Amino acid sequence: MEMLLAGNWVERNAVIEVTDPDDGTVIDTVPEATTADMEHGLAAAERGAKVARGLPTHERMAVLLRAAQRLEREVEDFANLIAREGVKTIREARKEATRAADTLRLSAEEARRIHGETVPFDQRPGSEGRFGYFVPEPVGIVAAITPFNDPLNLVAHKVGPAIASGNAVVLKPDSKTPLSAIKLAHLLLESGLPEEVLQVVTGPGSVVGNALVRDPRVRLVSFTGGKETGEAIIRSGGLKRYSMELGSNAPTLVMNDADLDLAVPAILSGAYWAAGQNCLHVQRLLVQRRVYGEVRDRLVAGARDLRTGPKVDEATDMGPIIDAPNARRIHEMVQEALSGGATLLTGGGYEGTHFEPTLIENAPRSSSLARDEVYGPVTILQPVENLDEAIEVANDVDYGLQAAIFTRDISTAHRAVSALHYGGVMVNDSTDYRIDAMPFGGVKGSGLGREGVRFAVHEMTELKVASFVLS
């Protein structure tokens, strides 16, 4: 596939091979862009920012709505591409493609809601006879850097709100999964997006990514990825705005009064969706002692029933890890926990990129599985005596994206929501729940700002005040 620069689809002699994580088959190639390519893209984005700023609201809406409608008609094509280049099964990929269409539609609807307010300046003595207001304006150029695990919908979550709010976008998709992003860019241009409003630059983060975030013309960096990379971006990017989702180590609490028929299937889905390569992955499970044994046994049986295999097979429940080095990394984290005294309940092995659904009991709280993000199909279980202990353990990490609790008691639920230091708390659902309209983001090491279409639009605009002295 080609990349999009200054309204043109361009090739380069140097290419990056995009392979299927299932078997390493080369699906396609994309250009390996250079810093000169990024400079070309940024120069075009400067022109595109002026065009985007001048687009009437109804035109922004129309482009996004047409794109959403076309994506809905092409869900199966997008789903097959998502499944082939990434880690999702075909059934998971269909859901992502459908959600991406909804994200674009939400972006179109949000465009009409971008407005300001009047300011009563005469609230201060001496300011009588004044009238004024504030309005949100586009930041200008948005840098969008996306990960491999949601190669379509997370692109839509950055590009859709940027277009809705009148910005130009320079998109750098993950080099492992750039094809869905390029296909979406085609669809947006075919839906009437003006040339130069969107650039898609494919290449190594160490080359084109660094050039993108350091450039002073970029006024907002929207990044989804690892904490270390996010911190490096802020250090090199300088004085500009950042919206970052940097991962998690998400806890799910199960109280004695929980509805286990509701909890167990939700936990299994949250633990093994996209083979655990998900920032909302159920990584830590804190279960009150009276129901601990039953929860453990039901989860072990459920994990063993999951079918792994080729992603395009409709019967496959869980696909592969994105590449062999990451599979080895996950295995090393498991082995570290086991060496520290944890018990392997099921799984733990892997072959190539296919990792078994894994459950581990009593991992040491100092282990990397208990403290860091595994980004793989591994969940650790720990019994707790009461809600206070569960909350203390849940909060004892440098992450805070989403937490969850299963309980029938409304007071228990409210206590947990108040005491858990997370950007979201899901009650009677797993941590792996999100709709594209809600504010999404975390505290501590989980990032800065909030996504979700309305809230991303807020991040991508700046307020301007006007004050008039009326004679």
Question: DSSP for 416-449?
Answer: HHHHS-SSEEEETS-S----TTS-B--SGGGEES
Q: Is 98 helix (H, G, I), strand (E, B) or coil?
A: helix
Average pLDDT over residues 291-309: 97
pLDDT at 61: 98
- CA 87 – CA 149 distance, rounded (Å): 7
- CA 272 – CA 143 distance, rounded (Å): 31
The beta-strand segments (E) located in 232-313 are 241-245, 250-254, 282-288
pLDDT at 164: 98
pLDDT over 90 (residue 471): no
pLDDT at 215: 98
Q: Is 350 helix (H, G, I), strand (E, B) or coil?
A: strand
Q: Which phi and psi (to 5°) does residue 420 adopt?
A: -80, 125
Which is the catalytic residue, given 96, 110, 196, 279?
Answer: 279
308: which DSSP letter? B
pLDDT at 226: 93
CATH tag for 3-247+445-469 (out of 3.40.50.720, 3.40.605.10, 3.40.50.360, 1.20.120.1730): 3.40.605.10
How many alpha carbons fall within 13 Å on the CB side of residue 414?
3
pLDDT at 88: 98
pLDDT tens-place string over residues 244-270 = 999 999 999 999 999 999 999 999 999
Residues 250-435: name the CATH superfamily.
Aldehyde Dehydrogenase; Chain A, domain 2 (3.40.309.10)
The band of 225, judged by pLDDT with boundaries at 50, 70 and 90, is very high
pLDDT over 90 (residue 430): yes
Average pLDDT over residues 205-234: 96
pLDDT tens-place string over residues 358-392 = 999 999 999 999 999 999 999 999 999 999 999 99
Average pLDDT over residues 126-152: 97
How far, in Å, are 169, 411, 466 from residue 232 at the CA level? 21, 42, 37
Average pLDDT over residues 426-453: 96
pLDDT at 392: 98
Contacts of 328 (CB under 8 A, 6+ apart): none
Sheet of strand 282-288: strand arrangement: 343-346, 358-361, 378-384, 282-288, 250-254, 402-406, 424-427
85 is catalytic: no
Structure tokens at 316: 């496959």
Report yes or no: 169 and 162 within 8 Å, Cβ to Cβ: yes
- CA 38 – CA 97 distance, rounded (Å): 28
Report yes or no: 402 and 251 within 8 Å, Cβ to Cβ: no
Q: Which phi and psi (to 5°) does residue 208 adopt?
A: -75, -30
Q: Where are the domains of the chain?
A: 3-247+445-469, 250-435
- CA 457 – CA 460 distance, rounded (Å): 5
pLDDT over 90 (residue 160): yes
- CA 415 – CA 255 distance, rounded (Å): 13
pLDDT over 90 (residue 158): yes
Average pLDDT over residues 77-100: 98
CA-based nearest residue to 389, from 289, 294, 297: 289
**What is the separation, in whole angstroms, between the first and last Cα of the chain?**
62
Average pLDDT over residues 409-435: 97
Average pLDDT over residues 149-178: 98
294 is catalytic: no
pLDDT over 90 (residue 146): yes
pLDDT at 28: 98
pLDDT at 277: 98
β-sheet bridge partners, residue 134: 117, 465
pLDDT at 185: 98
Structure tokens at 126: 């001496």
Which is the catalytic residue, given 32, 85, 96, 245?
Answer: 245
pLDDT at 323: 97
Report yes or no: 453 and 107 within 8 Å, Cβ to Cβ: yes
The band of 133, judged by pLDDT with boundaries at 50, 70 and 90, is very high
Percent of the chain past pLDDT 90, that is, above it, reads: 100
Average pLDDT over residues 42-46: 98
> What stretches of 273-409 show up as alpha helix (H) in DSSP?
289-305, 324-339, 368-371, 387-395
pLDDT at 397: 97
